[in-house]
Amino acid sequence: MFSYRHAFHAGNHADVLKHAILVQILDYFNRKDAPYWVIDTHAGAGLYALDGEWAGQSGEVVDGLDRLLGAPQPPELVTRYLHAIQDFNPDGVANRYPGSPALTLRALRPHDKLRLFELHPTEIEVLESTLRHLGTSRRQVTIAREDGFDGLRRLLPPPTRRGIVLIDPSYEDKRDYRHVLQAVRDGLERFASGCFAVWYPLVQRVQAHEMARALERLPVEWLHATLTVRKPAADGLGLHGSGMFVVNPPWTLHEELRAALPWLTKTLDQDGHARHTLAISGQPRNATGEVPAARKPASRAGHPPAGRPDAQKRSPSRR
């Protein structure tokens, strides 16, 4: 039950997709002064040493974050993600990788709240140490040693009526696919306006495809992005890509992903078989799985493109 340690996979291609989208959602929520909550159902350790025993052993960062560092002309979505990584590596060398708790804390304002769930006994100890190191307040951040699927029900709706729910279990247990779907359905009953962000692996398991199709049938606004970086292995093992399904997404996310996914596909391609899809509710897919360009969402007045003024600064290197 407790075999999975995310440190093995920190900074890989799946983290790039998941965390680039998370950073965009957090930036969007910060456009309004009203407070919000972030609930992370499977928080992990929070911060990972890329030159340490775990990540160094797997080396997955080489085909993830490392490929982005120094790559020419990153799109806005990727640029903001790289800035977030840079903030945890002030010496300019990307040897630490922030997980979703750390990235969220970076974005939160004093009146926002973060609620974390983690059941792995070692991961939660590291997470608690990481949060102490980052100087977090107990009033702003709480950690529960509890199954996030169960704990989520207790926290919805948040008192602020604004919130982001990140759901990204390891999926080592095949039942996680069913639990994710049920968590989103139950969550929407309690918090219909909430932003639910679901990460899932692209693996040769029928449960992954069935869950994605079931999520797309939900009668809500959603966005669904996938990124495949290589051809699936002949033995059916391994992670060849990942997907993000976002319920009630920021209206800006679709256009940013339209610009970012082709760049990420080219940059993270491992064997010439990389591809991506992008779909939103209420609009048909074309032959490649994308929403036709002619149906892209219109812009709204008073909402300038998100991002930092220094968005063109060079991202950190690794050595």
Q: What is the pLDDT of residues 19-59, one digit of tens each?
A: 999 999 999 999 999 999 999 999 998 899 887 554 444 57
pLDDT, residue 52, reads: 59
Whether 229 contacts 270, CB under 8 Å:
yes
pLDDT, residue 212, reads: 97
Handedness of CA 232, 236, 240, 243 (dihedral sign): positive
pLDDT, residue 2, reads: 41
DSSP, res 282: T
Using DSSP, state whether 258 is helix, strand or coil: helix
pLDDT, residue 70, reads: 87
Alpha-carbon radius of gyration of the chain: 18
Pairing mode, strands 195-202 and 241-247: antiparallel
Q: What are phi and psi of 114, to 5 degrees?
A: -125, 130
pLDDT, residue 289, reads: 55
pLDDT, residue 247, reads: 98
168 is annotated as an active-site residue: yes
| Set 51, 168, 271, 310: catalytic member | 168
Handedness of CA 143, 149, 151, 153 (dihedral sign): positive
The closest of 40, 44, 2 to 22, measured between CA atoms, is 40
Q: For the purposes of burial, counting CB atoms within 10 Å of the CB of 310, is it exposed (0-12), middle (13-18) or buried (19 or more)?
A: exposed
pTM of the predicted protein model: 0.87
Q: For the purposes of burial, counting CB atoms within 10 Å of the CB of 3, is it exposed (0-12), middle (13-18) or buried (19 or more)?
A: exposed
pLDDT, residue 314, reads: 34
DSSP, res 308: -
Handedness of CA 283, 256, 9, 268 (dihedral sign): positive
| Below-50 pLDDT ranges, the chain | 1-5, 54-57, 293-315, 319
Q: What is the pLDDT of residues 72-117, one digit of tens each?
A: 999 999 999 999 999 999 988 889 999 999 999 999 999 999 999 9
pLDDT, residue 318, reads: 52
Whether 168 contacts 149, CB under 8 Å:
no
Helices in 34-115 by DSSP H: which ranges?
53-58, 65-68, 76-87, 100-107
- What is the rounded CA–CA span in Å between residue 103 and residue 83? 11
Cβ neighbours around 133 below 10 Å, total: 11
